[in-house]
Amino acid sequence: MPDFSPERDELLDKDKKYLWHSMAPCNAAIPPMVVTAGAGSWITDIDGNRYLDAMSGLWCVNAGYGRKELAEAAYEQLLALPYYPLSQSHVPGIQLAEKLSEWLEDDYVIFFSNSGSEANEAAFKIARQYHQQNGDPGRHKIISRYRAYHGGSTGALAATGQAQRKFKYESLGGGFLHVRPPDSYRRPDGMTEEQFNLLCAQEIEETIVWEAAESIAAVIMEPVITGGGMLVPQQCYVDRVQEICKRHGVLLIVDEVICGFGRSGRKFGHHNFGLKPDIVTMAKGLTSGYLPLSATAVRRTIYERFASDGEYGHFRHVNTFGGNPAACALALKNLEILEQEGLVDRARELGARLESEMRGLRAHPLVGDIRSFGFLLGIELVADKATKQPASAETVKGIIGQCKSRGLIIGRNGDTVAGYNNVLTFCPPLSSTDEDMNFLCATFTDVMNNQL
Ligand code: PLP
């Protein structure tokens, strides 16, 4: 492990002077953690402190840190062929496209990019062009849900339903509409969960009708809303959305950027619901975060509409680095690891354990709701269980800080502008050991019990 301790202070000064951090205010009161190494579920900072990373970085290190095989796969490919654009082809690109189609358990053609945002941008353009070529040129609007996050580039941000991330950058691309998310915990009094889920799905249909179906290109949704605070829909919601899309000729884009690659306890999140998306977008866990790579999987029947249209069917989308050969080779190795180590099944097992250990906290006065999906968990903190008033930012940050001081990193998600940035999130590597889980559950439970 490299030792940076002699240059520690100098590095921190340079960090402050030169590095503009994402997702953190400039000159944040607490300096950033300078991470120097990772192994399994654990990371080490420049001061030698170790932390269990129960957020897998930014929801992506599915296979865990320190996988030599992944580095070797990229290294060998970099020596053989470091780069070539996918306007032509290369072997790891071909092999990975086939493998992804196999993982999707259905017939898809794969378009590569570098990030989740780009995968969604490509999906929107493909949906719009598809309708143009289908003699339906008016279909350009995309329906999404409030509280969803779909990326930081202008189109993906326009699809995002979190005002906190958008309001300083309006106006973004036009043609994006938002509807109520299936947030069952905050459903109106007197409604059952099922009634509320169906009402939320119904809003999609009403939006389609009010806006005119001939103007709607697609609906985009994550299998569960993750970054917006772990909002898990009921099966009836997902079934109804699929049925509505089909009936109105609207494409269904499923954003698997977080839920893909075993995270949900199945290969993809939508497999849990028996969904048949027209387009699936993916990133993060595709390489376990080791290199940037993303993909937009397009149902073959849609691709064929492009393929049968000669020059007019040309998808005019340039992406210089999309499908870099080393990233593809690494992704192939990553999928091999997930398969050989049974990490998809392991995620299901670990998710069930996490949920059952956290269930004991339901009676805690600060815990309003606990929601899980595969090996993802959200705990919604409230100041008052009866009114569901969200816990204060200080309370939420205090708990996260106390976990960190005891060697456990957890996340905070929701929506700041709407006042719901009160959901603690857990998304540990799928390779986590039983000992890691013992540490995670014991530490978090203890921190929560200390709030009493
Ligand atoms: N979609 C979802 C569900 C995400 O959580 C994210 C990022 O967190 C994105 C898309 C955008 O991915 P990226 O940051 O790689 O552009």
**Residue 12, Cβ neighbours under 10 Å: how many?**
14
Q: How far apart are CA 432 and CA 434, in angstroms?
A: 7
Ligand 1 centroid distance, CA of 256 (Å): 9
Q: For residues 258 and 50, what is the distance between their CA atoms, to the nearest angstrom?
A: 25
Per-residue confidence (pLDDT) for residue 28, from 0 to 100: 82
pLDDT of residue 198: 98
* Alpha carbon distance 178, 382 (integer Å): 26
What is the reported pLDDT for 93? Answer: 98
What is the pLDDT at residue 309? 79
142: tokens are 């995309």
Q: Give the closest residue (by CA) to ligand 1 atom 1.
A: 150
pLDDT at 285: 98
Which pLDDT does position 173 carry in this prediction? 79
Quote the pLDDT of residue 25.
Answer: 87
Q: What residues contact residue 262 under an 8 Å CB cut-off, 6+ apart?
A: 62, 285, 338, 343, 344, 347, 374, 375, 430
- Ligand 1: which atom is nearest the Cα of residue 153? 16
**266: which residues sit within 8 A by CB, 6+ positions away?**
272, 344, 348, 374
Domains recognised in the chain with CATH numbers: 5-66+342-449 (3.90.1150.10), 68-340 (3.40.640.10)
Q: Which of 231, 284, 319, 425 to mutate to test the pocket of ligand 1 (most atoms within 8 A of CB)?
A: 284
Can you read off the two tokens belonging to residue 13? 């000064």
Residue 415 pLDDT: 82
DSSP structural state of residue 65? B
Per-residue pLDDT of the chain (452 residues; tens, 9 = 90+): 778 888 999 999 999 999 999 988 888 888 899 999 999 999 999 999 999 999 999 999 999 999 999 999 999 999 999 999 999 999 999 999 999 999 999 999 999 999 999 999 999 999 999 999 999 999 999 999 999 999 999 999 999 999 889 889 988 878 999 999 999 999 999 999 999 999 999 999 999 999 999 999 999 999 999 999 999 999 999 999 999 999 999 999 999 999 999 999 999 999 999 999 999 999 999 999 999 999 999 999 999 999 887 888 899 999 999 999 999 999 999 999 999 999 999 999 999 999 999 999 999 999 999 999 999 999 999 999 999 999 999 999 999 999 999 999 999 999 877 778 999 999 999 999 999 999 999 999 999 999 99
Provide the residue type at 196 as one letter.
Answer: F
d(CA 117, ligand 1 centre) in Å: 6
pLDDT at 31: 86
CA dist 39 and 21 (Å) reads 24
Q: Distance from the CA of 282 to the center of ligand 1, in angstroms?
A: 9
Closest alpha carbon to 144 in 256, 283, 275, 252 = 252
Which of 113, 149, 280 is the best mutation target for the ligand 1 pocket, counting ligand atoms within 8 Å of the beta carbon and taking the most?
A: 149
Closest ligand 1 atom to residue 222 Cα is 3
Size (the chain), residues: 452
DSSP string, 399-436: HHHHHHHTTEE-EEES-TTTT---EEEE---TT--HHH
Which residues line ligand 1 at a C-beta cut-off of 6 Å?
Answer: 115-117, 120, 149-152, 222, 226-227, 255, 257-258, 283
pTM for the whole thing? 0.98
* Interface ipTM: 1.00
Q: Is 310 exposed, middle or buried (0-12, 13-18, 19+ CB in 10 A)?
A: exposed
Cα–Cα distance, 292 to 287 (Å, whole number): 7
Residue 220: enclosing H or E segment and its boundaries?
A: strand 216-221
**Cα of 268 from ligand 1 centre, angstroms:** 15
